[in-house]
A and B are shown apart, each in its own frame.
Chain A
Amino acid sequence: MESLSTTKPKSRLSNSNLLFIIAGIIFILMYGFALISFPDSFMQFQTFFDLFNFNAALFIITLGMCIVMIAGGIDISVGAVCGLVTMACAMLLESGGNVWGALLLALGIGLAFGLMHGYLIAYLEIQPFIITLAGMFLAQGLLTTLHKDPINVTWSAFVALRNFTIEIPWLGAVNRLGVFIPCEIKPGVFVVVVLVILYAVLMKWSRFGRNVYAVGGNSQSARMLGINVKKTLFFSYVICGLTAGIGGFVFLMTTGAGNIGNGALFEIKAIAANVIGGILLNGGVGNLLGAPIGTLTLLTINELIRAAGVQSNLQAIVSGLMLYLFIVLQSIIMSLRGSRKFRLALPSWLKLHRLQGNGD
C-alpha cells in the first residue's frame, strides 16, 4: 500500500548491507563501551589513530583478502608473502638499493605470488586452499632462506620515511607535564585510506567488481550470464597478491625491520576481520567497507583486553570468546531473516544495474 504513494518502492536490504550495518553498529557499540569503561586511554584521539598507525599492514591485507573472499575463494598465503616482502626489501635497502627500488620489489613479489595463485586456481581449477597453502610454504621457505636474523634498516632515507609523521595541530592531548602533544599519523595510514577508497570504487562501480560478486554468488549462473569466470577469479587473486606486497612494504615502513615473525598469523586475522565485517567465506556476500570496519573491531577487542589488564594467557581465550559471540550473533540474525522469504544474496545496486541492462 505504501508503494502506491511513493514513486520508488522501498527495497529490502541486501544481505551484504545488512551484515555491513551489523558490523558497523557492533563496532560503534564496542568503541562506546571502551570509551565508557576506559576513558583515560580511549578518550584520546591518538589511541584511535594508533590503531591505524601500527596496524596499517593488517588493514591493507584484509582488503585484498576481502576481494578474494567475495569471489568465493581464500588466500592464506598473504601473511607469509607480507613477511617475505619485509625481509626482501630490508635486505635490498641495506645493500644499497633505494626506496623506489624496494617498493618495486615489494610490488613484484606480491604480483608474482598473485599471478601464480591466480593462474593455478582459475585456469587449472585447483582448490584455492591447497595452492595458497603451498604459496604460504613457499614464501616462508624463501624468507628463511634469504635471512634468518632480523635486519634493521639503517639507511638514512628510509629511516626518515619510517620516522615521518604528520601532526594534526588542532587535535591532541595535554600530558602530565602540561605539554600539548598533537596527534600523529603515519604515512601508512594514507596508503590504507587510498586503497580503501580505490577498492571500494572498484568493487562497487566497476565491471570487474560486479563480476566478482556474481562469480562468488554462483559461478555457474555467472558463466551463463556471459561473465568470464576464470578471468575474474584470476584477477581477484592477482589483486590480493599485489595488496599483500603493498602490505609488506607498509609493514616495513611501520617497523623498519625485516624479521621472520613479520606478518605471522595475518591470514587468520584477516579472515577473522572479514567475517566480523560481514564478508562470508561462501562468497558473493559482503561490502568492501566491512573489511576495515571488521579490522577495527578486532583491534578494538584486543585493545580492550589489554586495557582491562587481562592475564596474558587469558587474552587469547577472551578474544576467542568475543569472536564466538560475533559469529553466533551474525548467524542468529541471518537465520531470523532467512525464516522469511529471502531476496537474492546479491547487493541491491547490482540488481538495479541488471534491471536497467535488461531494459536497454
Chain B
Amino acid sequence: MPRFKAYFDRLSHLFLPLSVLVILIIINLIKGADYFKITMVNGAFYGNIPNILFGASELVILAIGMTLVTAASRGQDISIGENGAIASAIFVQYVLNAGEVTLWTILAGFLISCAAGLIIGAFNGTLVSFFKVQPMVATLILFLGGRSIAFIIDGKVSPILANEISNRIGTVIPGVPIQTPIILTVVFIALVAVVLKTTNLRLYVEAVGINPSAARLNGIDPKKIIFMTFLIMGVCAAVAGFIAVNKAGRHDSVNLLKFIMMDAILAVAIGGNSLGGGKFSITGSIIGAYTIEVLNRTLLRLEVEPEAIKAFKAVFIIILMVIASPVVRVSVGKVLDKAKTIVAGYSVRKTVGLNKAVLSVTDTSAGKKEE
C-alpha cells in the first residue's frame, strides 16, 4: 500500500488536468452517447477522438517546448506562432523551388525549417540568457515582426502547397488507419520522452528554474540551459509549423498558428506547472493541450454561439484555476482533515479494543522495517 501511495503522490499533479478532461468527456457524453464512436472512412479512423488528436497536434508540440522554456527561464515565449510561420515559410519556399517533389525534398525542407527554428530560438535565447531580458519582452520583437518576415519570405499572399506527399502528411497515408499528424505528434512526444529519460536535461532545467544562482554555484550554467530551452522551443515551433502548413495545404502568413501562444501557455498552466519556473511536468502539459482542444470542440458541440465561445472559455478557465488555486486547495484540505479526525475519533471511541490491536500490529511491523 505505501508504494501505491507514493506512486499516487508522484502523479498528484496530473489530478487537475485529468479531472477536467473527465468532466468535459462526461458533458460530451450527456450531450450525446455516441461521443466515442469511431468510423472508418477510406481506410482511416474518423470520429470525435481522432479529430481531437488531429486538431491538437501542433498545440501539443508547442506546449512541450513552452513547458521547458517556462520551467527554465521563468517566463513565456509569446512569439511561437510567428516562429512557426517563419520556419514553415522557408519550408514551403524550399519545396516550391525544388522542382520535382519527392520524399527527400520534403525531408530536406523539413530539416532546413528546423534549422531556421534553431536560428530563431538562438535569437530569442541570446536576448533572454545573455542580455538578461525578460522572455516575454524579448520574444515581443519577433511577435511584432515575425509575420512580416514570413510574408517577405513567401513573396505573395498564401502560396499553395499542392503536392501528393504534403497532402498525405497533412491528412492520411493510404494504408495507415491513423491520420499522419497524430503519428508525427506521437513520434515527437516519444523523442522528447527519450531525451528527458536519457539526459540530465530535466534536472538541469528544474535546477535553473528553481534558483539560477544556486544552480550556478553547483556547476550548472543557467545561461546555457536557458539558451538550450529556447533552441528546443525553436525546433518545436518549426515542427508545429510544418504540421500546420501541411494540414492547411497553403502558407497563410497572417493566420497560420495565430494566437496559439495563449493556448500553449494555458496548456502549461492547466497541466499543473507553475508559470514562475521550477519543477515541470511534460505529461501534464500534453494533457492540458488536449484538454483545451476538447474544451473548444465541446463548446462547438454544445452549439454555443460562435461569438460567445471565448466568453464561455474564459468562465471555464477561471472556474478551473479557482479550483486549482493553492488557497482553495489548502482550505479544502483543512476541511477534509477536520472531517477525517472527527470520523476517526468517533470510530476510536466506538471500538477501542480493536483499534488498540491494530495499532500494536502496525507498531511491530514498523519496528521490523526499521531493523
Contact = CB atoms under 8 A, between A and B. Distances in A.
A140 B309 CA distance: 10
A327 B308 contact: no
A127 B269 CA distance: 9
B275 A141 contact: no
Interface stretch (B136-144, B201-209, B226-234, B356-364): B136-144
Contacts of B144: 268, 272, 316, 319-320, 323
A201 interface: no
Interface string A133-157: 1111110111011001000000000
B131 A328 contact: yes
Contacts of B276: 127
Contacts of A145: 305, 307-308, 311
A138 B310 contact: yes
B107 interface: no
B127 interface: yes
A327 B141 contact: yes
Contact of B137 (A126, A148, A281): A281
Given A138-B314, A331-B131, A125 B327 contact: yes
B interface: dominant SS: helix
Contact of A272 (B140, B142, B262): B140
User: Which interface class (under 10, 10 to 19, 20 to 34, 35 or more) fits A?
Assistant: 35 or more
B313 interface: yes
A321 interface: yes
B251 to A, nearest CB: 15
B93 to A, nearest CB: 16
A131 interface: yes
Contacts of A141: 307-314
B317 A134 contact: yes
Contact of A275 (B137, B307, B315): B137
Given A138-B314, A145-B311, A133 B148 contact: no
Given A138-B311, A141-B313, A281-B136, A126 B321 contact: yes
Which of B144, B149, B274, B322 has most chain A Cβ within 10 Å?
Answer: B144
B132 A126 contact: no
Nearest to B76: A129
A120 B321 contact: yes
B24 to A, nearest CB: 17
A124 interface: yes
Nearest to A338: B132
B344 interface: no
A327 B134 CA distance: 10
A164 interface: no
A339 interface: no
B148 A313 contact: yes
A327 B137 contact: yes
Interface string B146-170: 1111011000000000000000000
6 residue pairs, one from A and one from B, having the closest CB atoms: A141-B311, A320-B145, A141-B310, A138-B314, A137-B314, A144-B307
Interface of A: 74, 116, 120, 123-127, 129-131, 133-138, 140-142, 144-145, 148, 268, 271-272, 275, 280-282, 313-321, 323-324, 327-328, 331-332, 334-335
25 contacts: A120-B321, A120-B322, A124-B322, A124-B328, A133-B266, A134-B318, A135-B314, A137-B310, A137-B311, A137-B317, A138-B311, A138-B314, A140-B310, A141-B312, A268-B143, A271-B140, A272-B144, A281-B75, A313-B152, A314-B152, A317-B152, A320-B144, A321-B141, A327-B138, A334-B132
Given A120-B322, A126-B322, A316-B148, 15 more contacts: A120-B325, A124-B325, A125-B326, A126-B325, A127-B274, A129-B275, A130-B269, A133-B266, A137-B313, A271-B140, A314-B148, A316-B145, A324-B141, A327-B141, A335-B131
